[in-house]
Structure 1
Amino acid sequence: MTHHYFASCPRGLEEVLQQELMEIHANDIKRVDGGMLFSGDKEVLYKANLSSRIATRILCLVKQGSYENEDDIFNAALSVEWTTWFALEKTIKVSTTAIQCPLKSIDFMTLRIKDAVCDIFREKTGKRPDVEVRDPDIRIHLFLEKNNFSLYIDTSGAPLHQRGFRTASVEAPIKENLAAGIIKLSGWNPGEPFLDPMCGSGTFLIEAAMIASNQAPGLNRNFGFMAWKSFDNILFSTIKKTYMDQVTKKDFLKIYGSDKDLRAIRVSKKNLTLAGFENSVQLVCKQFSEITPPYSEGVLVTNPPYGERIGEELDSAYPEWATSLKQSFAGWRTYFLTNDFRMPKLMRLSPSKKTPLYNGALDCRLFEIKMVAGSNRK
């Protein structure tokens, strides 16, 4: 049976997500702000959740339409056969997102959707499902626009950027799906040297290692659709085994990480070990200015500290980084994600590309600076 879905992603990565959906043969793919609409059967749904490096969540559309007041949406939720989607013993949580919504209380609308679901179960079974706020079996999402609503069931459960193995982190870690998207945007290919000189908790390193070893990101976690009545365990297990069989041997992958903070190196090492890449990545504790590039050419990708994390220290750090790039990294393509738009100017380097991206709510730029000897000075 075919359903319609919305796959959300960090804003700015919609085209990368679109390519992923095309690769698993999803249908009716359409770009919207912050994600992609698509349709497909169970096989497409299972593949999307298991294989997408970019999606944050994949939501299944159960009802949509126009509304004038709260009752219109409540009655629409009452018309859904919720008991065919999941069993009474499954716990539920309802959440609402609204853009230019005229309704007075979004929280009240959330409660009314929960009441509609419970009313249907009480009518069909004599009992109602329990609500679980922290870790529900079933997540129901209401999306409200000015005149239209969409009601979804979450197919993913926990956000898809939670790969299932990062247990430790340093301050302000980058989300895994944003890191994977940036690596894709850099044009890095497995086999090319890859370096993150400010690796923090190792997110870029792990995502690069997963790409290089052809490891689907969802192999070590569960999904929301596994709590549905329609869940096909045989089909899911077959698809998952196919992805597992495609994983290549994790020898050293020419992936390098460094950080001036020894604690960050320890955290990165722990996370790499949990992900099974302890022998695939080389780590050192060094300042950016102390790094000697391992090859004459390669790709440098990093999420340097910015904003409240480091403040005015950046004004002196940027010229130091620029000196290291000019002296040591000729021949390298470098990529910096930051919300400090002064960065290239203060480094006196000209970016060849500026890609708008959002790191959570922060409006950022991914600056591409190609280090060709003598050509980057302003």
Structure 2
Amino acid sequence: MKYELIATSAMGLEALVAKEVRELGYECEVENSRITFKGDELAIARSNMWLRTADRVKIKAGEFKAYTFDELFEKTKAIPWEQFLPENAEFPVSGKSQKSKLFSVSDCQAIVKKAIVERLRTHYKKTSWFEENGPLFKIEVSLVKDVATLTIDTSGSGLHKRGYRVNQGEAPLKETLAASLVMLTNWTADRPFADPFCGSGTIAIEAALIGQNIAPGFNREFVSEGWDWISDSVWDQVRTEAEDLAKYDQPLEIIGSDIDHRMVKIAEENAFEAGLGDLVTFKQMRVQDFTTKRDYGVIVSNPPYGERLGEKSAVEQMYKEMGKALIPLDTWSVYIMTSNENFEKLYGKPATKKRKLFNGFIRTDYYQYWGKRPPREI
């Protein structure tokens, strides 16, 4: 069967997610925070396995205008839910509403649940309650400007949960955002890569996964693996494809450093969990002490922002020292994400380009300093 699929995305990353969807071979349409494309069961498995920057992959079960609860009930009931849900399916319903006449989320959830039960009861000829002790189908009703969209989540845990993070610091960067930061640069696997504020190692680990073309979902499971209408052979095919496309022999030069020795230890543990322990080097070091004899490298980092009371002046001083250490590396490209609006002034150089991004709910800029281009090989 062909399904209408939605890859959800953080604000500002839609173009990256759309690029990834197209690279998998699916045409797509881009809206705010969602990328819509059509595909079969294989597409569901492949997009979960390969999308580095998407939050999750959902099936769009139906979409319609709904101004009244009656309308919501009847139009939900008209959807062929039996194509998705077996008789023993566990199907919790969550919801959200924006700028819609039906604004009570709890009422909308209850009505959608009741409509699905009615539909399934007729189809499965049930008179008693459904046990709901089978596979999980997380259903969402989203109302935006009186348009109800009903989706089924195929991912389970969000796609940022790659399965390698055994530990983290107090403000961890989502793996999907870390991958995006790397993919927005000019880095290629044959160039050195560094993160001088590595924290729990997420940016460096994501760079290594990208560098060796390792599928981000290779180390985890997805809720749709438990659905009987996506056969085990589909998942076997997708995992075999991921194994075949990985470039495990691609040499990488990736270094993560941090002033906090505890974070360096956590980063090392996470890299080993990801199977990349030998590929990424972590060490304790201040950014002021960053030096290199290598040329044409790339630095990607998410330093402290100084958002907390009392931290701002120390962070701003550190930005100044960072500039003194990194600006002389004229063949290196430097990419820094921070919410500090004075960053360029403190760093000591205007950015080549900057891009607005959100780190969770914090609005940040991604400051891009492009180094000299390597001479073209003859």
- TM-score w.r.t. the length of structure 2 is 0.92
Matches within 5 A, 1:218-233: 218-233=217-232
Matched, 1:311 2:309: no
- Count the aligned residue pairs: 367
Conserved 8 A contact 1:298-1:333: yes
Question: For residue 343 of structure 2, what is the aligned residue in structure 1?
Answer: 343
Conserved 8 A contact 2:291-2:325: no
Q: 1:315 to 1:63 in 2, by over 3 A?
A: same
Structure 1 unaligned residues grouped into runs of 5+: 373-378
Question: For residue 17 of structure 1, what is the aligned residue in structure 2?
Answer: 17
Q: Deviations over 1:171-224 (max 9, x none)?
A: 111111111111111121111100000000111111111111111111121222
> Partners in 1 of 2:194 and 2:355 — Cα distance?
20
Q: CA deviation at 1:129?
A: 4.5
> Partners in 1 of 2:157 and 2:31 — Cα distance?
22
> Partners in 1 of 2:186 and 2:295 — Cα distance?
17
Question: For residue 364 of structure 1, what is the aligned residue in structure 2?
Answer: 364
User: Once structures 1 and 2 are overlaid, which stretch shifts more, 204-213 or 38-47?
Assistant: 38-47
Give the counterpart letter for 2:345 in structure 1.
Answer: K
User: Once structures 1 and 2 are overlaid, which stretch shifts more, 355-364 or 203-212?
Assistant: 355-364
Q: Aligned with 2:67: secondary structure?
A: coil
Conserved 8 A contact 1:138-1:154: yes
**Runs of 4+ that moved beyond 4 A:** none
User: Once structures 1 and 2 are overlaid, which stretch shifts more, 111-120 or 199-208?
Assistant: 111-120
Q: 1:234 to 1:68 in 2, by over 3 A?
A: same
Give the counterpart letter for 1:8 in structure 2.
Answer: T
Structure 2 unaligned residues grouped into runs of 5+: 373-378
Question: For residue 165 of structure 2, what is the aligned residue in structure 1?
Answer: 166
Report the identity percentage.
29
Give the counterpart letter for 1:11 in structure 2.
Answer: M
Conserved 8 A contact 2:52-2:216: yes
> Partners in 2 of 1:114 and 1:82 — Cα distance?
11
Q: CA deviation at 1:131?
A: 9.0
Conserved 8 A contact 2:213-2:245: yes
Conserved 8 A contact 2:211-2:250: no
Conserved 8 A contact 1:64-1:150: yes
Matched, 1:323 2:318: no
RMSD over aligned CA atoms reads 1.9
Matched, 1:64 2:66: no
Conserved 8 A contact 1:90-1:227: no
Conserved 8 A contact 1:86-1:229: no
Question: For residue 105 of structure 2, what is the aligned residue in structure 1?
Answer: 106
Question: For residue 215 of structure 2, what is the aligned residue in structure 1?
Answer: 216
Q: Aligned with 1:186: secondary structure?
A: coil
Conserved 8 A contact 2:93-2:139: yes
Q: CA deviation at 1:314?
A: 1.7
Give the counterpart letter for 1:321 in structure 2.
Answer: M
Q: CA deviation at 1:72?
A: 1.3
> Partners in 1 of 2:209 and 2:165 — Cα distance?
13
Q: 1:71 to 1:277 in 2, by over 3 A?
A: same
Matches within 5 A, 1:124-143: 124=124, 125=126, 126-130=128-132, 137-143=136-142
Question: For residue 175 of structure 2, what is the aligned residue in structure 1?
Answer: 176
Q: 1:9 to 1:131 in 2, by over 3 A?
A: farther
Q: Aligned with 1:18: secondary structure?
A: helix
> Partners in 1 of 2:137 and 2:242 — Cα distance?
26
Conserved 8 A contact 2:190-2:251: no
